[in-house]
Structure 1
Amino acid sequence: MDDLKPASARVVAAAAERGLDIAISRFPEGTRTAADAAAAIGCEVGALAKSIVLMGDDGPLLVLTSGVNRVDYDKAAAAAGASGVRRADADEVRAATGYAIGGTAPFGHPSELTILADRDLLAFDTVWAAAGTPDSVFPLTPDELVRATGATVADVAA
């Protein structure tokens, strides 16, 4: 873990707090987009758990969605009990999660977030999530992802 960037080390520590022992993989070519990550990892784009930060009535909302899906804002708002949501800007993402866009991990945030998990992620044996930087990811099962994040599984796909 000594060679990990601080953001990735924070992800490993947060995973351990949740009973997970994760293995982070780094890809110098980057994993900023779902297509880039899938190509680098060698998995289906749908097996990527994209972290999308939205702003709602009660503050930030994290939506973990399948790499092939786009988030339907109305569905996400309804699942979170918000009257509406909008996409967070880069500063809001960093403030809410402690990570930059492209490397937003599903846990290890500075404070508790409402988290929704796209039900389409449950179709995969293994999903891949960002590990704090645009060039790092880690695998886990969908059940581990839901349990570790406390996410509510919902239909959030457009």
Structure 2
Amino acid sequence: MDTSHPQIQKVVAALAEHGVVDEVVRVLPDSARTAREAADALGVEVGAIANSLVFDADGEVVLVLTSGAHRVDTVALAAAHGLPALERARPELVRAATGQAIGGVAPVGHPARLRTFVDVELAEHPVVWAAAGHPHAVFATSFDQLVDLTGGTATKVA
């Protein structure tokens, strides 16, 4: 596989719109559907992996970019930001909202901008790795760049 996959190209285009260019996407030989798989493939700490988790907040799609080192506290996150209860989005909703399949959801490249929260724990890592629209594709970024790229809100999520 190379970076010509249509979903990877959407991510590459979205990154380029923000001036992020020059071979930013890395295609891995094995799946990186989980933070552990991605960390192992890249030789980095699992906390440096930005998991893209999609939630349904009573009909509003919410994207949470969380460190792979922990789980999202959905109750606390919803309460802190005045959201209705956050439920894991069904695969069909994830695909409809992002154009991407679970395990490869990127922070960018979606049909429309999603309300996004970025885990402040990701700031502990100078390089953060995020999915690039396909379970075998990732790109290197930083916490600050993730916030900028997504227009997200930096917050505690765990």
After superposition, the Cα gap between the structure-2 partners of 1:45 and 1:71, relative to the gap in structure 1 and judged at 3 Å, is same
For structure 1, the residue ranges without an aligned partner over 5 or more in a row are none
| CA RMSD, Structure 1 to Structure 2 (Å) | 1.3
SS at match of 1:39: helix
Q: CA deviation at 1:3?
A: 4.6
Query: AA paired with 1:20?
Result: V
SS at match of 2:145: helix
For 1:29 and 1:129, the matched residues in 2 are separated by 15
How many pairs align?
A: 156
Question: 2:35: which partner in 1?
Answer: 34
For 1:68 and 1:38, the matched residues in 2 are separated by 10
Question: 1:117: which partner in 2?
Answer: 118
SS at match of 1:115: strand
Q: CA deviation at 1:78?
A: 2.5
Stretches of 4+ aligned residues off by more than 3 angstroms: none
Q: CA deviation at 1:79?
A: 3.9
CA contact (8 A) 2:3 2:25 kept: no
For structure 2, the residue ranges without an aligned partner over 5 or more in a row are none
Q: CA deviation at 1:58?
A: 5.0
CA contact (8 A) 2:104 2:136 kept: yes
For 2:27 and 2:60, the matched residues in 1 are separated by 31
Q: Percent identity?
A: 48
After superposition, the Cα gap between the structure-2 partners of 1:80 and 1:60, relative to the gap in structure 1 and judged at 3 Å, is farther
Normalised to the residue count of structure 2, the TM-score between the two structures is 0.94
Question: 2:90: which partner in 1?
Answer: 89
